[in-house]
Amino acid sequence: MKAFLILEDGHVFTGTSIGSEREVVSEIVFNTSMTGYLEVLTDPSYAGQAVVMTYPLIGNYGICYEDMESGRPWPDGYIVRELSRVPSNFRSTDTIQNFLKKYDIPGIAGIDTRALTKILRESGTMNGMITTKEYENLDEVMPRLKAYRTGKVVEKVTCSEKSVMKNNGYRVALLDLGAKRNIARSLHERGCEVTIYPAGTKAEEIIASNPDGIMLSNGPGDPKDCGPIIDEVRKLYESDIPIFAICLGHQLMALATGADTYKLKYGHRGGNHPVKDLETGRVYISSQNHGYAVDTNSLNPAVATAAFENVNDKTNEGLKYTGKNIFTVQFHPEACPGPQDSGYLFDRFIRMMEVKKNA
């Protein structure tokens, strides 16, 4: 069946419908990963967005459900150049086509994703519609496209209740802002007992549990839409508990301590983003998925200083908090998908808890 992608700047791409045939309006973003499409689809940070995969062939190793980074996929739509019809992988139990239909996600294949990505890079991220209806008059849909907002999506993706991954090591409280499974798994594999809390949990409850450390996860949307959560993060900052924050958690900690955030032109999404450790000068290849960044000009050096920088565009990739056992990064050290260059940051967090406990 024929399908159309209509952008709010008037561009129209024609392709083939994949997945659900329902019509959807969303924010269109692109991901440059060459592999890991299932992990991309199940990353809660994509809630409220439709994802364009820049790699031209998607689906060639099928769907392996045990590799999902959450219990379901989150993008509003999925856009690819070519979809593999016959996956080849001994672990595969399904196809992307069936996966998208199962979860009612509309998609479109057969369009020029390179041209689409160039538009998004030059004009910036914009809204769009995936539809099987051929509109003769685009004025009919433009108001809907321009009015779309991702809204408060953290509440949509967070867990509904507290859960615990038992272990014998340090006890970590993980605030689930849209956490990928591999964050808790990375801590658990290092011996930590991980208690996962819903995003709306009060700081007092977390502090009262007397954890050895606190982890703030990744998540979707504009960090400034998380006002009540920011208030609780400020209380966590004021505690003396070691804290490690990733992606949205990094942004919320910055906002909670007086810094500012802003929207990037087209964001960083993919498994091939170089980041530089400003203390050592070493560069790591990182996995990223975010559309907002911390404004380093708004930092108070008495509170925090830049620790990592994006090599491509010099935007902030991490902060070290002055006089506090707190460090935060914009990228994903837990990877999945992506390189594991920065997985050592979990070990740094473990050492931080160890030093604090033995002080």
Q: Is 251 annotated as a binding residue?
A: yes
Compute the average pLDDT of residues 56-81: 97
What is residue 278's predicted lDDT score, i.e. its pLDDT? 97
Q: Is 248 annotated as a binding residue?
A: yes
pLDDT in tens, 317-337: 999 999 999 999 999 999 888
Closest CA to 271 of 355, 338, 182, 172: 338
pLDDT of 208 higher than 90? yes
Cα angle 332-203-349, degrees, rounded to a multiple of 5: 35
Q: Is 281 annotated as a binding residue?
A: no
Q: Is 284 annotated as a binding residue?
A: no
Q: Using 50, 70 and 90 to split pLDDT, how confident is the model at 244?
A: very high
Distance CA 39, CA 269 (A): 12
Q: Using 50, 70 and 90 to split pLDDT, how confident is the model at 348?
A: very high
Beta carbons within 10 angstroms of residue 347's beta carbon: 12
Cis peptide before 228 (omega within 30 of 0): no
Using only the alpha carbons of the chain, give its radius of gyration.
Answer: 20
pLDDT in tens, 185-200: 999 999 999 999 999 9
pLDDT in tens, 270-287: 999 999 999 999 999 999
Q: Is 45 annotated as a binding residue?
A: yes
pLDDT of 233 higher than 90? yes
What is residue 336's predicted lDDT score, i.e. its pLDDT? 85
% of the chain residues with pLDDT over 70 = 100
pLDDT of 359 higher than 80? no
Q: Using 50, 70 and 90 to split pLDDT, how confident is the model at 339?
A: confident
Compute the average pLDDT of residues 219-245: 97
Is the Cα torsion angle 143, 146, 152, 153 positive or negative in sign?
Answer: positive
Q: Which residues are catalytic?
A: 247, 332, 334
Compute the average pLDDT of residues 101-128: 97
DSSP-assigned letter for residue 303: T
What is residue 341's predicted lDDT score, i.e. its pLDDT? 87
What is residue 60's predicted lDDT score, i.e. its pLDDT? 95
Distance CA 306, CA 295 (A): 10
Bridge partners, 6 (sequence order): 12, 129
Cα angle 191-357-196, degrees, rounded to a multiple of 5: 45
Q: Are 191 and 232 in contact (CB under 8 A)?
A: no
pLDDT of 345 higher than 80? yes
Taken in order of first residue, the domains within the chain and their CATH numbers are: 2-147 (3.50.30.20), 154-358 (3.40.50.880)
Q: Is 178 annotated as a binding residue?
A: no
Residue whose token pair is 């509003």: 76
Closest CA to 29 of 56, 8, 5, 50: 50
pLDDT in tens, 293-313: 999 999 999 999 999 999 999
Q: Are 303 and 66 in contact (CB under 8 A)?
A: no
Beta carbons within 10 angstroms of residue 85's beta carbon: 10
Distance CA 327, CA 250 (A): 8
pLDDT in tens, 30-42: 999 999 999 999 9
Q: Using 50, 70 and 90 to split pLDDT, how confident is the model at 342?
A: confident
Distance CA 30, CA 53 (A): 6
What is residue 111's predicted lDDT score, i.e. its pLDDT? 97
Compute the average pLDDT of residues 121-139: 96
